[in-house]
Structures are given as C-alpha cells and as structure tokens.
Chains A and B, each alone.
Chain A
C-alpha cells in the first residue's frame, strides 16, 4: 500500500494544478485584484514545489524552507506595492478596471 501523502508526484501534480489555475486566472480576470490573486496562486505552486523537493530530494531540509520563506516575503511586498498602485489608480481614474487605463494606448 503506497501513501499518496508520501509520494513526490502527488505534490508536483498539485503544484502544476496551482500553476495552471494561476495562468488561467491571470489571463481571463478583468480586474487588478483578480490578476494579483492569480499571481499569489502561482507563487504558492512554486512554494509547494520547493517544499516537495526539499522533503524528498534535498540533502539539507533547511534550503527549501528558506526559499519558500523568501517567496512569501516577496509576495507580501508585491501585494503591498500592487494595492498602493490600485489606490493611486483609483484616485486618478475612479476605477480599478485595467481596460479603463487607456491614456498610453495609441
């Protein structure tokens, strides 16, 4: 009897699932918030991948945890920046729909 929670492929397929859902959402969402949410899903897929390799393949189990914590830090910084963008854009255009920002469109 093989455990599904003790198998590298389970985690890799889960990470692929998060990545493709993120890519799908990133393309079809029409709002800044929706695109940011999809980006978070992609970053979490990367985190699961790092942790799975860390658990099953790496010689030192600290490496993957460190990289996953870095991913979390980058994601937090990115979320703060994007929300401040949203505030600035909303002040100027009174909308957070990316299709309303047409000033640079030829």
Chain B
C-alpha cells in the first residue's frame, strides 16, 4: 500500500464523513434553511462516492443536478412558502412521532443489514470496465432508448404541471390570470 493509496483512503473517509454530517444536520437542524444546506453537504459527499465507484460523469451530474438545481429549487420553495420575517427564524417547533420514526428506521436497518450480510454476492463472470461517457451515451441511445425518451416526456409534463399548479392559485382569488 503506497502513500497515495493512503491519501485516497483518507479522502474516501472524508466523503463518508460529509454524508454522515450532512444527514445529521438534515434531520436535527432547528432552522428550516439549515435542513436544505445539510442536504447539499450530504449530496456533495454522495458525489465523491460516485467518483470512487468509477463514474466521473455521474459525479459531475450529481453536483450539477442535485447540489445545483434541486437544492436551489428547495430554497426557492422555502422563500416563497414563508413571509420575509419567517425565513430567518423559521424553526421547527416540535417534532412528532420520534418513537415511531426511530422504530421504523431501526426495523429497516436490521432487515437490510441481515439481507446484506446473509447474501453471497457473486460478480458477473466477464466484466467490461468501460465507465466512459461515450459508452454511457451509446447505451442511452440504443439499449435504453425508450426509457430515455420517457424520462424526457416525464420532465416536460412535470414542468408544465408545475407551471399550471403554481398559476392555479391566482385564479382562486378571483384575479385575472395574466
């Protein structure tokens, strides 16, 4: 094990710590805005994990789509869904169902850990080691063409639906929709 491999392992642990810290901020933060910022930290850690799993392309997409777009949309939702004075001090007053939450999470944890440890994972006999974006794009356009087209239709429907939903509230007040 060379010096650089130690550095790589240490960096991996840093990404794992980012995920753990971000997740704890997400579930324990008192201020709603901090919840979203904790999510951004956790998603950055996940991007690093994708890098260690061999996919540079997915690392970049994770940072672009999740850390970039989704977190901005969530912060936008917080700002629209609160009055200006609320944004800074919008705290989570009381937490409900702590016992239910802990027991559901513990049940899922034990079930999944048992199935992970009991299963004998068998690698495929012949593995192609081509993680390039070129290979990915080719399989998008040949093998997964239908799913690729369907997801674009879903995104279009989601955008149109979001516009209609967000505009519909204006008409309820009796104002002319412009």
A contact residues vs B (CB 8 Å cutoff): 1, 3-5, 8-9, 11-14, 16-21, 23-25, 27-34, 36-38, 40-41, 44, 47-48, 51-52, 54-63, 65-66, 68-70, 72-92, 96
Contact = CB atoms under 8 A, between A and B. Distances in A.
A23 B74 contact: no
Contacts, number: 243
A61 to B, nearest CB: 5
A52 B9 CA distance: 17
A83 to B, nearest CB: 4
A54 B121 CA distance: 12
Contacts of B169: 87-88, 91-92
Q: Is chain B's interface secondary structure helix, strand, loop, or mixed overall? A: helix
A11 B104 CA distance: 22
B97 to A, nearest CB: 5
Contact of B66 (A11, A33, A75): A75
Interface in B139-165: 139-140, 143-144, 147, 151, 154-155, 157-159, 161-163, 165
Given A4-B12, A31-B32, A87-B80, A47 B46 contact: yes
Given A14-B16, A24-B104, A58-B124, A83 B65 contact: no
Interface residues of B, number: 96
Interface of B: 1, 5, 8-9, 12-13, 16, 19-20, 23-24, 26-27, 32, 35-36, 38-39, 42-43, 46, 49-50, 52-55, 57-58, 61-62, 65-66, 69-70, 73-74, 76-78, 80-82, 92-98, 100-102, 104-106, 108-109, 112-113, 116, 121-131, 135-136, 138-140, 143-144, 147, 151, 154-155, 157-159, 161-163, 165-166, 168-170, 172-173
